[in-house]
Amino acid sequence: MTELSGGCQCGAVRYHITGPLGHAGICHCRMCQKAFGSWGAALVSVPLQGFKWTRGAPGIFRSSAPVARGFCAACGTPLFLHEDGDSNIEVAIGSLDNPNAAPPTTQVGMEARVEWFTAMAGLPHKTTNEDNPLAAAGRYKTRQHPDHDTQVWP
């Protein structure tokens, strides 16, 4: 049985998933671009019966009449979207402690896909430490929640 956890960047909101994940995909629609402040959203479907909040509660914004989008009210991390009456919640893959557990298999909302999306994989790349000498020197004290459940945070 699948056991996964995840949450926001600051750790104020955490969740746990028990059971199988559903469909994982990328949405390029303009609404997801705005909600995530990015090129779109990577989301995985999770049956509500296997999903529970374990710390805090998300803020909610109704981006359209039938859709609630959840986020951390403390740090702003996008966490999910849920359509009224759906037996699944669409969880932001990046909010999983192990995002590799939900590789996307499809893309939707192609009418709004940003033109440079397909070129991203070919861009020059560096690790964080290669790009930022201050990070490499340990000068940043992160307040990011670790990628696992904690009893108390911070």
Give me the numbers of helices (H) and strands (E) for the chain, helices first please.
Answer: 3, 10
Please name the amino acid found at residue 117.
F
Instruction: Note the pLDDT of residue 99.
Output: 98
The owner of tokens 């949450």 is 7
Report yes or no on whether pTM surpasses 0.85.
Answer: yes
pLDDT digit string (tens) for 95-137? Answer: 999 999 999 999 999 999 999 999 999 999 998 888 888 776 7
Mean pLDDT of each 10-residue bin along the chain, 154 residues long: 94 97 97 97 98 98 96 98 98 98 98 97 90 75 89 84
CATH class label, 3-114: mainly beta
* Listed residue (7, 3, 1) closest to 91, CA to CA: 7
Rounded to whole angstroms, how far apart are CA atoms 141 and 13?
21
